[in-house]
Amino acid sequence: MAAPNSAADFPSAALPLLRNVQLRDNVRHATDVIQRKRSRVVGEMPDWEMLRDSAQRIREHTMEYLADYLEQFEQNCTAAGGQVHWARNAEEANRIVIKLAQNATASVIKIKSMTTEEIGLNRALEAAGIQPVETDLAELIVQQSHDRPSHIVVPALHINRHQVRDLFARTMNLTQLTDRAEDLTEAARAYLRQKFLQTPVAISGANFLVAETGGVCIVESEGNGRMCLTLPRTLIAIAGIDKVVPRFRDLEVMLQILPRSATGERMNPYNSIWTGVHPGDGPQEFHIVLLDNRRTEILRDADARETLHCIRCGACQNACPVYLQTGGHAYNSVYAGPIGAILTPQLALMREGQSLPYASSLCGACYEVCPVKINIPEVLIHLRGRIVQQQPQLQRTFGLEAIAMRFAQWLFLSEARLRLAQWIGRMAQKLFIGNSGWIEKLPGMLGGWTRTRDLRPMPPQSFRAWFEKRSESSTVRNQGKYE
């Protein structure tokens, strides 16, 4: 299933989450910790802005020549003994993976991968009778609690360790388990070790594909990835076509900006780069599925193309004041936060997730931290424009908001009309002024304002009226009595 589900729009999905005190505490604490770590390790880099510029240029250049670099990657990966598969969409990608795994195994071990979330691989595998086992601790937590990831890098960010203790105690039958972090990781370690040793097929995502060498790069913190990449006989990687970098040396930039932005680490504990297969060392069969899934559609929109520059560090999520309030589930999408707000609707060809580009105050915190300098606020505004444009004719003509916007424009195109509107507003507001002397309840769309806020009434005189009156009487001006 490629498209994110359209169950609820952002404002309605956010509502129950805003009332969930535990979840909001968890999100607040986790994003705060990561943000502080990030600020520290970014602040110590004298060339951080130059790195961002380089990263941006590498990504821009790659997108411009994407087809060339993908073909180069295919050539080099194949020459090294890898097998490259092309998937136009989620269905094709899932079919390829299932076909490869089906005859070899009844279960697969998995490295954390947002791309496999995007294509709904786990559901597809289960439907085909193959049991996927998530080996990243947070993904394991999410999988065992039948939950959804709420963050690109920290999928169980919305859950705290007391909740993890309760979960593992139940699913792993460990009644004596404490909520010490060491005990929890030890429990997961013991559980996973057997899976690593017994399972012949592993599935991974990819952080980068190196066109020049045909190599695939994965960075991780727990070592579960290294296990999956080395122990099984067969390794299947799934990567969006946007993951390619031209040269091996481009990793010099990427591997500096990614860990610092993602987890606030100078370097990831595990950095794996492998190229094809090597007899007697590691998996003897390596497949890579290159996934389009509407990425070429995004590439076609010059004003939104930079969405594909994303390297999935999640820094924008940690910095976002909207995400901070709701966590990731309000976005009803695999990709949450600011990047999700621009990526999700585009992956759905703007047919779903239309409330997401509006789930932002355009404060710009995401752009400020983005290591590849995606101007997310600009893209959000552009996508809002596309959403307005694609509204059905009826809605664009008679929709309340559209009428209000056109009416406001009509007023603003004439000073006389603006003055008249100000006068009418001063008269009409009397209907809404409460006992406190302020406006306490507004009708219709504007009622959103007065749900938590009052509004000071319009004063009896506009600025333009004041200025005009003052200009008429020069004596007053000369005496400096402006009030």
Residues 311 to 340: which contact another protein by CB under 8 A? 321-322, 325-326, 330
Does residue 146 bind another protein (CB under 8 A)? no
Quickly count helices (H) and strands (E) in the chain.
Answer: 23, 10
Q: Which is nearer to another protein, 83 or 325 (CB)?
A: 325
CA distance 253 to 246: 12
Contacts of 126 (CB under 8 A, 6+ apart): 132
Binding pattern for the stretch 374-403 against another protein, x by CB under 8 A and - elsewhere? ----x--x--xxxxxx-----------xx-
Nearest distance in Å: CB 71, another protein:
33
By CB under 8 A, tell whether 279 contacts another protein.
Answer: no
Token reading at 134: 């998530």
129/385 with CB nearer another protein: 385
Nearest Cα to Cα of residue 287 among 69, 80, 115, 1: 80
Ranges within 442-461 binding another protein (CB under 8 A): 445-446, 448-449, 451-456, 458-461
The smaller minimum CB distance to another protein, of residues 164 and 376, is found at 376
Q: Does 432 bind another protein (CB under 8 A)?
A: no
Among positions 152, 365, 370, 379, the unique one binding another protein when judged by CB under 8 A: 365
Give buried/exposed letters for 82-105 (b at 16+ CB in 10 A, else e). Answer: bbbbebeebebbbebbbebbeeeb
Helix (H) or strand (E) holding 190: helix 181-198
List binders of another protein among 17-46 (CB under 8 A): 18
473 scored as a contact of another protein (CB under 8 A): no
Q: Closest CB to another protein among 205 and 338?
A: 338
Side by side, the strands of the sheet bearing 285-291 are 83-87, 285-291, 234-240, 201-204, 107-110, 131-134
Among 81, 200, 364, 399, binds another protein (CB under 8 A): 364
Nearer to another protein, 128 or 402 (CB): 402
Is 180 in contact with 171 (CB distance < 8 Å)?
A: no
| Nearest distance, CB of residue 83 and another protein, angstroms | 44
* Site for another protein, residues 168 to 187, rule: CB under 8 A: none
Shortest distance (Å) from residue 299 CB to another protein: 20
Q: Out of 127, 362, 420, 428, which residue is the one contacting another protein (CB under 8 A)?
A: 362
**Shortest Cβ 372–another protein spacing (Å):** 17
Of the candidate spans 192-200, 209-217, 304-312, 361-369, the one that interacts with another protein by CB under 8 A turns out to be 361-369
Residue 254: closest CA among 207, 206, 305, 307? 207
Closest to 256 (Cα-Cα) out of 112, 42, 59, 32: 42
Residue 85: its H or E element: strand 83-87
Query: Which residue among 1, 5, 11, 473 contacts another protein (CB under 8 A)?
Result: 11
**Interaction between residue 351 and another protein (CB under 8 A):** no
CA dihedral 77, 78, 83, 84 (to 10 degrees): 70
- Burial of residue 297, with CB atoms counted within 10 A of its CB: 0-12 exposed, 13-18 middle, 19 or more buried: middle
Q: Is 104 in the site for another protein (CB under 8 A)?
A: no
* DSSP element (H, E) containing 99: helix 90-102
Smallest separation (angstroms) from another protein to the CB of 160: 20
Does 413 engage in binding with another protein (CB under 8 A)? Answer: yes
